[in-house]
Structures are given as C-alpha cells and as structure tokens.
Structure 1
C-alpha cells in the first residue's frame, strides 16, 4: 500500500512540474482502481504529452466516466472537450462532434467557467477553419471577454491568437501580426499553461509564413523551439520541428531540414493527421529541390494519403520530369478547387512557370496578374513582404523572358534576386541569378550573364540542387542540354523566287517569317537562327515544339497564298556554343536531317520525341528514314495538322 501511495505522490508531484514522462511512468505503475478521476485526467495529460494518444484517450474517457458518476459536471465537460479535440486531430469527426455536443449539454446550465471558454474557442476555431472570417472574429472577441470576466488567461490569449489568425487571413495583416506578437509574448513570459502555449506559437508562425514574413516566422520558431526543447513533451515538439524544418529549408540547410521533418511526422502521426500530412509534403519539397524525384514522389503520395493535396509541388515535379501535360493538368485542377487567396498564392507562381513551359503565355500572364493582386492584398505596413515581392518579380521576369523582352526580364530577375537575398533564401536567390544570367546574355551582356550563372552554379552545388546545377552548367556550355529542336524550310524556294521576282518574293518571305516567329513565340520556343528559307528553333519540351509546328502549318494554310513548308522535330542533347543561345551537336544534326526528309506541308518527328506526348496528336504509322550523316535508320512519324 505504501508503494502505491509513493507512486501516486511521485506522479502528482511530476504533474505539478509538467514533468510528463516521469508522471506517465509513475501513473503506469499504479493499479487503476487506486486512481481518482483527477488522477485519471492527469494520467491522460501525461500520456498525451508523452506522445501516447491511444492511452491518453483511454484515460480521459475513464476520467470522464468517473467525474460523471460523481456528479462533477464541469470536470466531465472539460474531459469531453479534450476528447473532442483528440478525435478531431485523428480526423474522427463524428466522434469528435459527439463529445463536443456532450460538453455543450453539460455546460448549458452551469455558471461561466474556463470550460465555457474552451467551448467558445472550439466554436470560434470551427468558424475560422470553415472560412467564415467575420463570424470567427466576432466569436473570438466574445471568447476574449469571457476570459476577462472569469480571469482565465489561457482563454484570453488563445482568443487573441485566434482573432489574429482570422485578421491575417482576411487581409488585415499588420493588425493581425501585432496581435500575434502580443499573444506570443504572453507565451514567452510563461503566463500560459503548456497546451495554450503551443497553440499560440503555432498560430503565430503559420500566419507569418502565410504572408511571407519569414523573418518574424523565424523569430517565433526559435522561441517555440526553445520552449519545446525545455518542455518534457512529444506532441507539440513535432509541430515545432515541422516549423523548424520549413525555416531550415528556406535557409538552405536541406539535410537537417529533412531530418527535422521526418522526426516531426513520426512524433505527430498519432496526434494530428493534417499537420502530419503537411510534414510529408515538406519532405517532398526538400527532395524535389535536391533532384530526388523518386523520394519526392513517395513523400507527396504519403501527404495525399494523409489528407494534404500534394500541389503545387507535384505539378512542379512533373515539370522537372518533362511531363508538361501532367503538370498543367495537376496545377489547373488544383486551382479550380481553391478559392482562399493565400492558398491560391502558393500555387500561382507554379502556374506561371508551368504555363510558360507549355507555351501558354496568356495563362501565365493571367496568373502573374492575379498573383500580384493577392500579394498587394496582404501587405505589411503598406509594403509587400520581401518574399512575396520577390515571387512577383520572378514571375514577371519569366513572362518577359518568354516574350524576349530581355531588359524587362533582367529587371524582374534582378529585383527578385535582391529580395530573396534579403530574406536569406539561397536556393531562391540562385534561381533568380540563373534566370538573370540568361536574360543578360540574351541582351548581349555576355560577361554580366556569366557572372550571374557562375554565382548560381556555385550556390546550387553547395545546396545539393543537382538538376539546377546541371542546368547552370548547360547554360555555361559545360554540359549537354536536352532540348526539342525544330527546323522549318520552304519547299522549292529557288523556283518561287524565279517565279515571283525579287519584290514579291521579299513580301511573301516577310509574311512567312512573321507567321513562323509568332507561332514559335506563342508556344514558348526560341528562334535560334533564321536560315534564309526557314528557321531553327529550340523548345523546352516536345509538346510545345509540336504545337508550334502545327500552328505554323495552319497559319500558312490560312493565307491567300503561302509557300509550302517542311518541318522536322527531334529531341536530344546538345551543347550551347560559346555561352550563346545557339546549339550544336549530333542531335541538332539529326533534327535538321529529319526536316530535310519531310515532304511539302509535312511535320516529321522522330518517334522517340513522341514518348509521353504522342496521345495528344494524330499520327501516321512509323517509318524508317535513312538520314545523311546519321548511322542507321531513324524511326519517324508524320503529324496530321489539318
């Protein structure tokens, strides 16, 4: 008997010190029949903070039964609310609602108390998560007043943090962040109990990240992690680890970031499905940047299984794999289902990049315009957050680059580089530098462009961003670039010149050149050379090249009179000559020879180029062509453009 009393004394004393694991071990050694409802509640708390949710629920349900049998209605309601939150974290929404309804019934005839505050907080948060922001703000105000009347600091500060979150989401960013700072300061000072402390930190960090205030997010993440490290807990450290991983990724420490995110998922898996899903998505983001496509695919798939839509990361992964159609479909479907501005903001930059790769500059422009409008709706002190400003400038630069506005592109990328440097984001800075290098070279500043490309290359190498490192090497002419090449050629141009004479031929040729250039530009291609009677162009993917080829043939066919044109398309590796936009190598030669083998008004494509995109076009049966200077026959297919 004395041993039981001693264990209970140890457990109760440990609970008073928030020494959760010690309390859990001590309670576990005591027979259940010796535990009061208060002990069972403390046992459940100790289990919860020790990362043992099944046991926490079991002890809380026993505690509820004990309080209910004893007629302690207020305590029974408190346990019902705790169980409602436990089951909601597990996505057992019907069970959660059942416990919440029980708490409502128990509290309706009782005087105001901290339990009523928890009840009102739950209602306020439900309105917040449903997107009813005005209603949630009003409810949080009511909750705060209740906390003031009953003198419960946890209720007051949690209501303050909830209202801050709602204000930020509704566009009152500066006011909301100020309230977050106030609530978080109360947590730092130790005014709150552990559960309230963790919630306040999480809300503040989430809001800061949502509006691109990564400096403030980092400061509160560090404060939250100090609290997590000092506390003897498991559940909230998982959340703290996830916030830490996000900051580490932004700052370029990807190996440590992944370790933190993996640990977060392990600690959170039994607590909150939504946050755990976010952890797996973060792992996917880290792996995608490193070029670990298989690992990223696995992480995105796991995030999806846990309930987190894997976009826009999955669409960007498909783009990196060269699956442009899949990327377009993924990002488009995601945005069709999303209305919340801050959620759309996360995906719009990806839509700009993907649309340009698909040759859909119109969609890219619309996405960039919406992006800028959303960013301007969430300013901090009448200024854009540096990260959001950088995102807008990068999107603008991408569009200007696709439109061959080299000066405009360079300006956008330079501003993006400077803002990302302010944020302290080396990967994003390097991306802006690489694109700036391309723009500078295109406008004739070879030395300036090389400096930016070299800087980007060094950063990618340090970070372990393998694909970006390869791309930078390609642009510097040190590595083969895989591109889709298109050659056009006017059939019987010499005979046509003789027939029409110089003046009419010049007019006909000028119209032909304008139409061909327009179609290449519209699909995101780049004219490498005008060969006199035709063009040599480069594309980032086969689909864009084929759409350009079809567009060229249809545009010429729509003219009153236009010459017949043969077109050849082929995908392969090539070197950029001397850092210029020109390409050379065997695969360029193959593309040119395929073009020469095409008939009048024919689009001839190597069969290997159509892998993954052939289903989008009407094709002939393959035929083998012997090409001059190419060893062995090459399988080619004719594309029906009519």
Structure 2
C-alpha cells in the first residue's frame, strides 16, 4: 500500500468519525513516508479521542514543529494552545503553562492577528471560573467571544458561549445562562464544532444543568451525548463522562443497579484515558453504596473520588450522618458550604438542612432552608421546587409546625413523583408520617410509613428501612432516656449479637456501635451486656 493510499484512508476515516481506523491509517502513512502538518494535527487529535493521550501530545508536538518549519506561525501557535489545554487536562500544569507561553510568544511575533489570540484567553477565563469568580469569568469569556466572532472561528465562538453561560449560572442568572448553553448546543448538534471542543461542551453543559437543578435539560442533553458517543463507538474521550452522567440520572430515578453499572463503565473509560470521568465514576458508586447501606464500600468510593482533587460532598457528609457521626457530618459539610462557589453551594443546602436538623441546630437548618427558598423564588425548575419544599417541610416539623410541614411535604412528594424520583418521594412520606404522629394521628402516620417502606424495600434502601423500623416500633417502647438508635442497639444485644454482628445489622461501623453501647451503659447505670438484656425485657423493648 502506498503512503498516499494510507493518507487518504486516514482522512476518510477521520471524517467518518472512525478514530481508531484513522489513527492506524496515519500511522501506516507516517511509516511509509511521513505526514503533512495538517494530517499530523488530525492524527494527534484522533489519538486523544481514543484515549492515547501521550501519543496525541507527541504527535501534536510534531505537527507544531512541522508548521514552524513551513513558516505557518498561526497554525503552530494553535497547536501549542491545544497541547497546553491537553496538558492542563492531564494535570501537568508546568508543561501546560510552557506551551501557552510558547503560543503567546509566537502570536506576538506574527504580523497577522488571528483567533489564536482568543484561544490564549481561555486558560485565564477557566481559572476565574474554577475559582468561583463569576464576574471575572464572564468578562474574560466575553473577550474570547469577541475574537471568535471577529475571525469566524466556530470552535472558539462555541467555547466562549459555553463559558459565558457557565459564568452566568454561577452568578445566579440561570435563565440567561441556560439560554446560552442551549445556543451553543445547537452549534454542536448541527456539526459546526470539531470533535474535541464538541465533547468538552457536551460534558460541561450537563454539569451546568446539574448545578442549575435543570433535570429536564440534563436528561435531554444526556440522551444527546449518549447518542453522540454511540455514533463514535471507539471514542474514549468524553465517553466516561457520558456514563457518569447516566449513572447520576439512574440513581435519581431509582435504577440503582443500572447506576452502579454505568458508574463502573465510567471508571473503566477513565482508566483508558477519559481522566475527567474519575470523580463522577467514584462519586456515583459511593452514592449507590451509601443508599444501600454498604457503608465501608461507600467510604472507599468517596475516598477515591477525593483523590481526584474534588471533595465528594454532600455524599461523604451524609455517609457520616448515616453512620451516626452527626458532629463530623455537620463540621465537614459546613466547611464545604462556606468554601463553595454560589452554584455549588446551592447544591449542598438540602443536605445541610438534613444534617443540621439531625444535630439539633434548628436555627442553622432554618437559615439553610431560607437560602434555598430565596433561590427558588428566582427560578421555577421542578427539581428546585421539590428540594425546597422538602427542606422547608423538614424544618417546619422541627419547629413544631406539623400542619405547615404536611402541606409542604405533600407538594414536595408530588413534584418528586412527577420527576420520577421514588426515593426522595418516599423520604417525604417518612417526614409526613412523623408530622401526623406529632398531631396525634397514629393511623395516618403508620400509613405513610408503610407506603415509604414498600418503596425502600423495592429499591434496597437498607438504612432507610432500619430508620422506619425504629419509627414504627416507637409506639411500642416506653419513654425513657435512650434514643431510637440506642433502643435498636439494646434490642440486638438482647438477641445475643456481637458488636460486629450489630454493626452488620444496622449498617454501622463497629466503632459507632461501641460508642452507642457505652452511651447506653452510662445512661442506664449498667456495666454488662447481660444487664442491658435484662433491661430490654423489663421495659418491653423485646
């Protein structure tokens, strides 16, 4: 086969989105006689798309050098910018900065202005965005957009519009920001944007929809991304991020097994080269494991997510809460909320309400719920309304306004059902049951608890089932100094279970069980498990 045949095959394969075929064909052509600079650039891009990041950077470097030999400074600078962006993605900041500096020097030496000048503004704009500086990011991306429009560069214009939308969402201008994201997605779906910017935009738009609580858009664009990846079956880049977004939607909709499968596929794709999928893959695994009561596995998943440089919140704090470490949960989530940018902060508020209530700080819970309500007043997304109504209902219950709580919880449950989120809808029923009990209507309370139990059993939500067990047995146990969890521990002691067995039954750590037993002994003035067993029988706990 002649080099020209291999060269043509590479170009055709690339145009048809067959990245592996293109990579192989250009490799053959290169071995037979070398490649022109533009083909080297596309070869390097194909390598990145199939997860061969080191090969991609090496080949793009060759393209850069070939452009320089040809005296094409503008294209050499553009290659340098993309190498810098790839190195940024590969967590190589020094090399990334070096390539950006080289591109800047080349642009300064060129007598002609070009869109590369706009690309060189992107790293600083991203830095402002990642630092939570919404105003600075908006201004920076507005300048990027000017270069994109001036030079008619569709890739630069699309990336600028993406950044503009993200910055406005960060600033709370959700409708304006989401409209910009819709606009940039039109360019992507119309095929106006080249593959790597298109993938960046798909994944960033989905993340922005998540921060904006826009479930409808997130579902629509996840389907579009899934289709885009499906049409490029050998593509590794962005495919892991697609799977992590699918995992999050599966989890919300109660398809926890499917969520775990998608998260593990995301992890596999991350290991093959889609590095940005690592956090979401591990975090979504941790979420499913936490909800199922697999606390040790969840802790490991969150720890792996944390190693990517992003804090796994609110999942880790909610895990601490479920494991009985209320103060630790409160401390870690308060710190995360205080240090978060506005958009991320809003995503943490519902969990903060739950944890503050568990810690007995109703004033702090009220403040978080009020912040959610203020945000809700600016936007009418169903998921925002559901989250806000549920949080408000929980706080009103703690404030002894059971009737007010019931009204909010009914609305929240209806919204969650419309969003096809069964777990959250069932949690609203648990809160409603507690409200009915406060009002003295035990029959209605038990009906709510039983309806929630059916959902939790179907989902396999073991910790939620155990919580219900404590609530439904509360009417049978006399008032006393023990908490509901401590009563459950005493029951299991009386059944002859060891600390390890109790930990397994209640999905707690052995350390937490030991702490509960110590508290029981101190409260009741006991010194042995036999005495605790006797207490349980004497007081009708078993």
TM class, shorter-length: 0.7 to 0.9
Report the CA distance shift for 1:312/1:612 in structure 2 as closer, same or farther (over 3 A).
Answer: farther
Matched-pair contact (CA < 8 Å) for 1:273–1:306: no
Higher Rg of the two aligned structures: 1
The alpha-carbon deviation at position 29 of structure 1 amounts to 3.3
Higher percent of residues as helix: 2
Q: CA deviation at 1:84?
A: 0.8
State the shift of 1:417 in Å: 0.9
Matched, 1:630 2:534: yes
Q: Secondary structure at the match of 1:308?
A: coil
Equivalence map 1:329-478=2 (5 Å): 329-336=331-338, 338-376=339-377, 379-380=378-379, 383=380, 385-477=381-473
In 2: Cα distance, 1:393 partner to 1:308 partner: 29
- 8 Å Cα contact 2:80-2:102 kept in structure 1: yes
CA distance in 1, matches of 2:122, 2:5: 38
**CA 1:209–1:14 in 2, change beyond 3 Å: closer, same or farther?**
same
Aligned position for 1:29? 28
SS at match of 2:199: helix
Q: Which string of whole-angstrom CA distances, capped at 9 and with x for unpartnered residues, describes residues 561-586 of structure 1?
A: xxxxxxxxx763559xxxxxxxxx97
Residue of structure 1 equivalent to 2:253: 251
Deviation at 1:476, TM superposition (A): 4.0
Q: Relative to 1, partners in 2 of residues 1:330 and 1:27: Cα closer, same or farther, differing over 3 Å?
A: same
Can you list the C-alpha shifts for 1:580-634, whole angstroms capped at 9, x where unaligned?
Answer: xxxxx979xxxxxxxxxxxxxxxxxxx997627979xx99x985698598299xx
Residues 202-259 of structure 1, C-alpha deviation per residue, up to 9 Å, x if partnerless? 2322222111110111111111211121124220222222222211211111111222
State the match for 2:323 in structure 1: 321
The CA RMSD measured in Å over matched residues stands at 3.4
Could you say if the C-alpha distance between residues 264 and 155 of structure 1 is closer, same or farther in structure 2, counting changes exceeding 3 Å? same
Aligned mate of 2:489, from 572, 577, 582 = 572
Residues 184 and 200 of structure 1 are in contact (CA less than 8 Å); yes or no, is this contact kept in structure 2? yes
- In structure 1, how many angstroms separate the alpha carbons of the residues matched to 2:455 and 2:530? 45
Gaps of 5+ in 1: 482-525, 530-534, 543-569, 576-584, 588-606, 633-642
C-alpha contact 1:210 1:342 (8 A) present in aligned 2: yes
Q: How big is each residue's C-alpha offset from its partner over 1:130-177, in whole Å with a ceiling of 9 and x where there is no partner? A: 333223222322322322222222222222222111111111111111
- In the TM superposition, what is the alpha-carbon distance from 1:372 to its structure 2 partner? 2.9
SS in 1 for 2:489: strand
Q: Deviation per CA, 1:348-376, whole angstroms, max 9, x where unpaired? A: 22222222222232332233233333444
Residues 34-66 of structure 1 show CA distances to partners (whole Å, capped at 9, x for unaligned) of 233333222211111111112111211222222
Give CA-to-partner distance per residue, 1:70-102, whole Å, 9 cap, x none: 332122212111111111112211211111111
Whether the 8 Å contact between 1:205 and 1:221 is mirrored in structure 2 is yes
Q: What does 1:215-614 correspond to in 2, within 5 Å?
A: 215-232=216-233, 233-269=235-271, 271=273, 273-336=275-338, 338-376=339-377, 379-380=378-379, 383=380, 385-477=381-473, 536-540=480-484, 572-573=489-490, 611=515
Q: Is the 8 A contact 2:494 2:532 kept in 1?
A: no
Aligned residues: 519
Contact 1:81–1:100 (Cα < 8 Å) also in 2: yes
Partner of 1:147: 148
Q: Distance in 2 between matches of 1:328 and 1:131?
A: 23
User: How has the CA–CA distance of structure 1 residues 198 and 128 changed in structure 2, closer, same or farther, with 3 Å as cutoff?
Assistant: same
Change (3 A) 1:624 1:15: closer
Q: Distance in 1 between matches of 2:533 and 2:162?
A: 71
| Kept after mapping to 1: 8 A contact 2:326/2:355 | yes
- Corresponding residue for residue 214 of structure 1: 215
Q: Name the one with the larger strand percent.
A: 1
Q: Distance in 1 between matches of 2:490 and 2:414?
A: 33
TM, length-normalised to structure 2:
0.86
Separation (CA, whole Å) in 2 of partners of 1:289 and 1:466: 7
Distance, in Å, in 2 between the alignment partners of 1:302 and 1:73 is: 43
- Between the aligned partners of 1:117 and 1:445, the Cα distance in structure 2 is 66
Alignment check: 8 A CA contact 1:86 1:271 kept: no
Change (3 A) 1:439 1:38: same
Q: CA deviation at 1:19?
A: 1.8
The TM-score normalised by the length of structure 1 is 0.73
- Structure 1 SS opposite 2:121: helix
- Superposition deviation, residue 403 in structure 1: 3.8
Asked if the contact 1:90/1:270 (under 8 Å) is kept, the reply is no
The verdict on how the C-alpha distance between 1:625 and 1:174 changes in structure 2, with shifts beyond 3 A counting, is closer
Runs of 4+ displaced beyond 6 Å: 526-529, 607-610, 612-615
Aligned counterpart, 1:10 = 9
Q: Deviations over 1:101-153 (max 9, x none)?
A: 11111112432334333223333333322333223222322322322222222
